[in-house]
Amino acid sequence: MPSGEALKTYHRKIKEEKIMKKFKNVESYDEAAQYIQNVFAVPVSQMELEEAQEEEIIAKIIWLFDNAKNSAVRAAIHHHALGSGVYLDISEEKETGEGIHYNGMFCDYFSQSRYYAQLKCYDGSNVTLRYLTEIVTFIEDGAGEVHFIQNNYLKKYLE
């Protein structure tokens, strides 16, 4: 039998999942603000974040932006999820090469992008650490076969 605290955490996660799934249908600022306030009690700018929760919060904010239907919903994310003076910084590091070996495979062409996310303040200071969110790899092997590999490292927080 799970402990009382474990049961509360489980029920909170179930409630969040239901809320997150419904968000895809939200079209107005007010409706988006209401949904976001069920996910984040206060905006990130007002939180004292622990390092252990940073990655999950970033995953949720990225998910909200990815599933926002319009600019009104995105504005609600800025105001009610991020809050005053905080923004989501996404950066990409790209590596390309020709005639290289990757994972035991000869590549005529190789391209890999690593995406990182971090919450920052407009004054330049960091709110969170920088987290690897995704790696996208495109390979054309020696036989002319094309391989596309995509790994999303934040997906575990949204399942």
Residue ranges per structural domain of the chain: 4-157
Contact yes or no for 23/37 (Cβ under 8 A) = no
Given this model, what pLDDT does residue 82 score? 95
Closest by alpha carbon to 83, among 50, 114, 49, 134? 49
Q: Which residues of the chain have pLDDT under 70?
A: 1-21, 159
Closest by alpha carbon to 117, among 85, 80, 86, 148? 86
**Tokens 């968000």 identify what position?**
23
What is the chain's percent helix, strand, coil content, to nearest 5? 40, 35, 25
Please give the distance of CA 84 from its chain centroid, rounded to a whole number. Answer: 20
Which of the 8 DSSP states describes residue 41?
A: S
**Tokens 């909170």 identify what position?**
12
The stretches of 24-113 forming alpha helices (DSSP H) are 29-39, 51-66, 71-76
> What's the predicted TM-score (pTM) here?
0.78
Q: How many other C-beta atoms lie within 10 A of the C-beta of residue 35?
A: 21
